[in-house]
């Protein structure tokens, strides 16, 4: 009942927003409709365009490219972040020496790197993967570093008393602890992989969702821009859903946040 009410309210808000948009763009309330439609399009037009994109099959190619870029950026970023996070957490000296450089690199706004990556890797998918990588890498890196550094000293001492060697400690203690931290930032890092891909496409490419939006924008096709945004949102929600499933599967051992797990 409560849940149903919530869903109804959520739908009502969305519907209300669409209705407002529809009314304001189809009736000359604030300005002539020609003018409002030029700037804001109309919800029905946007919907029709989204439908057309999917029906004609034109959009799938772009979705596929963006998905590939996102997955590759995440895979490389997470892989590198885990590797270096581990390395730096276990080697004090490395962490100390590289600290200022890592902070400086992380402070850099990644957008400025996009043209350079385009120069280095061309306009294909790899320049977008590189941009996503620079975003994902640091998130995962910092989380894994933290996770390995903050392993519970008691759990660690216990594992050592069980005579585990360094490799076994890595596998049974450090690695799961680091993964926990990584997964706590999974939604963020996957999101950033996607941001890297889309922004990269937007700034220069010939395929992908970012390209579609940019293409529509350059001819003042507001309907096309909004349609691209709607498709992008659906895409993000689907990816986030998959991430949630993976997270649930891998973190079964964690107490659910709502229940009181202590006994």
Partner 1 sequence: MALSAVHRRRNRSILMPESQIAPAVLLRSVAITFGPKVGGYTAVQNIDLSVSPGEFIAIVGPTGCGKSTLLNASAGLLKPSDGKVEIFGVPLHGLNSRAGYLFQQDALMPWKTALQNVAVALEPKGVLRKEAEAMARDWLRRVGLAAFVDRYPHMLSGGQRKRVALAQMLIRDPEILLMDEPFGPLDAQTRQIMGNLLLELWAANRKAVLFVTHDLEEAIALADRVVVMSAGPAAGIIGEFPVPLPRPRDIAEVRLEPAFHHIHKKIWASLRTEVQKAYAQGEGATQ
Q: Residue 261 CB: number of other CB atoms within 10 A?
A: 9
Triad 153, 157, 163: Cα angle to 5°: 150
Q: CB of 204 within 8 A of CB of 118?
A: yes
How far is Cα 254 from Cα 213, in angstroms, rounded to an integer? Answer: 40
Q: Which is nearer to partner 1, 162 or 245 (CB)?
A: 162
Q: Which is nearer to partner 1, 101 or 253 (CB)?
A: 253
Q: Which two tokens stand for residue 111?
A: 């957008």
Q: Which is nearer to partner 1, 134 or 143 (CB)?
A: 143
Least separation in angstroms between residue 263's CB and partner 1 is: 4
How far is Cα 54 from Cα 52, in angstroms, rounded to an integer? Answer: 5
How far is Cα 194 from Cα 236, in angstroms, rounded to an integer? Answer: 8
Q: Which is nearer to partner 1, 85 or 196 (CB)?
A: 85
Least separation in angstroms between residue 25's CB and partner 1 is: 53
Q: Which is nearer to partner 1, 199 or 251 (CB)?
A: 251
Chain residues binding partner 1 by CB under 8 A are 154-155, 157-165, 168, 172-173, 176-177, 180, 252-255, 261-263
Least separation in angstroms between residue 146's CB and partner 1 is: 17
Residue pointed to by tokens 């599967």:
249
Least separation in angstroms between residue 179's CB and partner 1 is: 8
How far is Cα 71 from Cα 125, in angstroms, rounded to an integer? Answer: 11
Least separation in angstroms between residue 178's CB and partner 1 is: 11
Helix, strand and coil in the chain, % to nearest 5: 85, 0, 15
């Amino acid at each position: 009942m409560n849940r149903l009410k919530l869903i109804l309210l959520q739908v009502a808000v969305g519907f209300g927003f669409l209705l407002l948009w529809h009314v304001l763009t189809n009736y000359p309330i604030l300005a002539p409709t020609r003018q409002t439609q030029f700037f804001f399009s109309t919800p029905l037009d946007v919907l029709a365009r989204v439908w057309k994109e999917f029906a004609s099959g034109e959009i799938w190619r772009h979705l596929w490219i963006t998905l590939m870029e996102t997955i590759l950026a995440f895979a490389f970023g997470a892989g590198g972040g885990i590797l270096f996070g581990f390395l730096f957490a276990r080697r004090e000296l490395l962490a100390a020496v590289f600290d200022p450089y890592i902070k400086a690199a992380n402070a850099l706004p990644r957008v400025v790197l996009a043209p350079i990556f385009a120069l280095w890797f061309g306009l294909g998918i790899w320049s977008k993967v590189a941009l996503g990588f620079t975003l994902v890498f640091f998130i995962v890196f910092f989380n894994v570093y933290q996770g390995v550094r903050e392993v519970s000293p008691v759990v660690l001492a216990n594992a050592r008393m069980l005579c585990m060697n360094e490799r076994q400690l890595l596998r049974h203690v450090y690695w799961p602890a680091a993964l926990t931290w990584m997964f706590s930032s999974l939604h963020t890092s996957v999101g950033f992989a996607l941001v890297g891909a889309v922004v990269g496409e937007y700034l220069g490419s010939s395929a992908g969702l970012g390209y579609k939006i940019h293409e529509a924008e350059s001819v003042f096709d507001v309907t096309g821009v909004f349609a691209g945004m709607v498709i992008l949102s659906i895409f993000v929600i689907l990816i986030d859903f998959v991430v949630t499933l993976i997270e649930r599967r891998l973190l079964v051992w964690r107490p659910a946040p709502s229940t009181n797990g202590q006994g």
